[in-house]
Amino acid sequence: MTCISAIYGSPRRKGNTAALLKHAVQGARDAGAQVEEIVLRDLKISPCLEIYGCKESGRCVIKDDFHKVCDMIAASDAVILASPIFFYTVSAHTKILMDRCQSLWVKKYWIDKTPFAGQQQAKRKGLFISVGATKGKKLFDGTLLSVRYFFDVLDTELWKSLLYRGLDFEGDILKHPEYLNEAYQAGKALADA
C-alpha cells in the first residue's frame, strides 16, 4: 500500500491550502493510499539553531516534534506539502520545518557524501500545493526553488505542483470547485504513481 505524508503548512486550519490538501488527501485515500496528516501549527518545532549538532550523526540534537515528522516522511512513499505564499516564500511554519531538515542535508551531503543527482535518484514523489492573494507572473518562482531543494533533501522529486493565484480570505477556495477537484485528482494520481 502506498503511504503518503500530507503536510499542512498554513497557520489557518480551514484556509485555502488546507481545503486543497484535504481534497488531495481524500483523493489519495480513495485510491487506496494510507495517508498520515501532519499539521505543523499543532506541533512544537524550534527553528534551526545553526549549532550543527547534527554534524556527526546527521540527526538533529534539538529534542522536539521535528523527529516525529522526520520519521513519518522517512516511512512514506510520497509527500504532499501545502503552504500559502507569505512574502513570496512559504509560511513560517513550513520554513521552520525546511530549515530543520538541514540535518538531513548534512547526513546526505557531508556524512554520506552522496553526489548531487537532483531528481534522478529520488525515492519519493512530491506534490506541492500553494496559494497566493495576488496574481503576479512570478508569484511562485522563489517558493518553487525552495521546495525543489527541500524535496531533494527528502529524496523526493517535485512530481507536480498546484499553484493558485487571487485567493486571499478563508473560504475563497470554495468559489473554485474546479481547483478542489484538481487537488482531489492529483492526490488520486499520486497514490497510483
Segment contacting ligand FMN (CB under 6 A): 52-60, 63-71, 81-89, 177-185?
81-89
Q: Is 47 helix (H, G, I), strand (E, B) or coil?
A: coil
CB of 92 to ligand FMN, least distance (A): 8
- CA 95 to chain CA mean position, Å: 10
Residue nearest to ligand FMN (CB): 15
Q: Does 175 bind ligand FMN (CB under 6 A)?
A: no
Question: Which residues in 21-49 are b (16+ Cβ under 10 Å) and which e?
Answer: bbbbbbbbbebebebeebebeeeebeebe
* Binding-site member from 26, 36, 86, 193 for ligand FMN (CB under 6 A): 86
CA–CA distance, 6 with 9 (Å, rounded to integer): 10
* Residue 32 or 47 with smaller CB distance to ligand FMN: 47
Q: Is there binding between residue 129 and ligand FMN (CB under 6 A)? A: no
> Among all chains, which residue has been given the C-alpha cell 480551514?
14
- 134 contacts ligand FMN (rule: CB under 6 A): yes
Nearest to 126 by CA among 93, 164, 163, 77: 77
The distance from CA 34 to its chain's CA centroid, rounded to whole angstroms, is 17
Is 98 among the residues that bind ligand FMN (CB under 6 A)?
Answer: no
How many other β-carbons are positioned within 10 Å of the β-carbon of residue 125? Answer: 22
Which residue's CB is nearer to ligand FMN, number 87 or number 116? Answer: 87
Q: Would you say 28 and 190 are in contact if contact means Cβ atoms under 8 Å apart?
A: yes
Q: Does 24 bind ligand FMN (CB under 6 A)?
A: no
With respect to ligand FMN, which residue has the nearer C-beta, 63 or 138?
A: 138
Q: What spatial distance separates the first Cα and last Cα of the chain, rounded to whole Å?
A: 12
Q: Rule CB under 6 A: is residue 141 a binding residue for ligand FMN?
A: no
Closer residue to ligand FMN in complex, CB, 27/132: 132
Stretch that binds ligand FMN, among 95-103, 111-119, 145-153, 164-172 (CB under 6 A): 164-172
Q: State the residues that interact with ligand FMN by CB under 6 A.
A: 10, 12, 15-18, 84-88, 131-134, 139, 167-168, 170
